[in-house]
Amino acid sequence: MDPEYRFSHKHLLGLADLSAEDIQSVLQTAESFKEISSRAIKKVPTLRGKTIINFFFEPSTRTRLSFEVAAKRMSADTFNISSSGSSTVKGETLIDTARNLAAMNPDCIILRHPRSGSARLLADHINASVINAGDGTHEHPSQGLLDLMTVQEAKGRIAGLKVAIIGDIAHSRVAHSDIIGFSKMGASVTVSGPATLIPPGIEELGATVSRTVLEAVEGADVIMALRIQKERQQEALFPSLREYAKFFGISPKVVDTAGPEAIVMHPGPINRGVELDPKIADGSRSVILEQVTNGVAVRMALLYLIMGGD
Ligand code: CP
C-alpha cells in the first residue's frame, strides 16, 4: 500500500464508493483490532468521548449487536433507537428524526432502513458520519467487508479466487456489496438463482450469470448462499421453498462439485434446509461463525477509520 495513503471517507454508504486501497486498509485495520476481542479485558480507549447512535428501522441480530460490541470495545458511548421506539411512528419523517438526533451532536449514526438510498439521504442532511447498515436492496457495505476479511483469512488472498453467490440476487443488498467488493479486490464472481431473482444488468456490477447452481460452483473457492428475502418480494417469485431447496439449496453434492478446498458462507439469518442443508451449515467447510467474529473486527476498524480515533 502507498505509504502516503490515508482512509479519508466521512461516511460509509456503499462499497461502490471505496477503492481497492480503501478496502485493503479496512481489512488490515480489522486484522490488527481482532486480537482485542480475545483479551481478558476487551476494551481499549481509542474512541473514548465519541457518541454513536444505532438507528435501526428493520430487525437485526448480527449487524446491530456487532456495531454496538465494536463501539463499546473501543470505549465509545452507544445509544440504540428503533423505528417502533422512535417518533417516526407518529409521522415524523426520517430526515426530521435524523436532524433531531444530529442536534444532540453524535459523531456517527449507523442506519438500517428498508428504503434503498436512505443512508445517502441522511448523509446529505446531517453533519455526523453515517454508516449504512443495510438500505433496502441497495448495499450492506460492512457485511461485504467482513465477508472479504473472512475469505482473506481462510484463503490467504482474494485476487484470483472464484466466488459463487447463490440465491436471491435481486433483493439482496449483501449480494450487491459482495459483487462490488470481491470484483474490486480481483476475484471473479458468478451468480446463480431462480431466473426471477436475477436482476437484468447484474453483469454491470462485475458478475457473470450461470444458469445452474452446479455450473456456478464448478471450481469455486467460495460458495456464498443468500437468504430468501420473503419480506422484500412483492409476489411469489418461485413456486415453493421445497422447490427452491431442491434446485438452489447448497447440498453436499453442490459443495463436492466446487472442489475439496471450497468454503461455504452465509450472511445470516439462515433459513435452515432451504438455502443450506444443515449438514453444510454446521459442517467443516462452513465459515459462517467466523464471518460473525470478523464482523466485530471490521466494524471496530470502520468506526476507527471514519471517526479518526487516536
Ligand atoms: N447479516 C445481517 O445483516 O444480519 P442481521 O440482519 O441479523 O443484522
pTM of the full structure: 0.95
Q: Does the Cβ of 87 fall within 6 Å of ligand 1?
A: no
**Distance from C-alpha of 229 to C-alpha of 236, rounded to nearest angstrom:** 11
Q: What's the 155 CA to ligand 1 centre distance in angstroms?
A: 24
Do 15-138+294-307 and 141-291 show the same overall fold? yes
Which CA distances in Å does 264 have to 55, 59, 72, 159?
31, 24, 30, 18
Pocket test for ligand 1, best of 65, 135, 143 (most atoms within 8 A of CB): 143
Work out the burial of residue 116: count CB atoms within 10 Å of its CB; fewer than 13 is exposed, 13-18 middle, 19 or more buried.
Answer: middle
pLDDT tens readout for residues 153-181: 999 999 999 999 999 999 999 999 999 99
Whether 309 shows a pLDDT value over 60: the answer reads: no
- How many Å separate Cα 136 from the centre of its chain? 13
Q: In what order do the strands lie in the sheet with 77-82?
A: 77-82, 51-56, 108-113, 129-135
**Which residue lies with its CA nearest to atom 6 of ligand 1?**
60
Confidence of residue 46 (pLDDT cuts 50, 70, 90): very high
Q: Does the Cβ of 60 fall within 6 Å of ligand 1?
A: yes
**Which residue lies with its CA nearest to atom 1 of ligand 1?**
267
Q: What's the 260 CA to ligand 1 centre distance in angstroms?
A: 29
Residues 202, 208, 214, 215, Cα dihedral to 10°: 140
Atom of ligand 1 nearest to the CA of 112: 8
Pocket test for ligand 1, best of 62, 64, 296 (most atoms within 8 A of CB): 62
Cis peptide before 267 (omega within 30 of 0): no
pLDDT tens readout for residues 247-275: 999 999 999 999 899 999 999 999 999 99
**Distance from C-alpha of 68 to C-alpha of 62, rounded to nearest angstrom:** 10
Whether 86 shows a pLDDT value over 90: the answer reads: no
Domain ranges of the chain: 15-138+294-307, 141-291
Fold of 141-291: Rossmann fold (3.40.50)
Q: Which CATH superfamily is domain 15-138+294-307 in?
A: Aspartate/ornithine carbamoyltransferase (3.40.50.1370)
Confidence of residue 106 (pLDDT cuts 50, 70, 90): very high
Average pLDDT over residues 2-12: 93
Atom of ligand 1 nearest to the CA of 140: 3
Whether 112 shows a pLDDT value over 90: the answer reads: yes
Contact 2, 21 (CB under 8 A): yes
More confident residue, 273 or 91: 273
More confident residue, 68 or 92: 68
Q: Mean pLDDT score of the chain, rounded to an integer?
A: 94
Work out the burial of residue 150: count CB atoms within 10 Å of its CB; fewer than 13 is exposed, 13-18 middle, 19 or more buried.
Answer: buried
Work out the burial of residue 108: count CB atoms within 10 Å of its CB; fewer than 13 is exposed, 13-18 middle, 19 or more buried.
Answer: buried
**Distance from C-alpha of 101 to C-alpha of 113, rounded to nearest angstrom:** 16
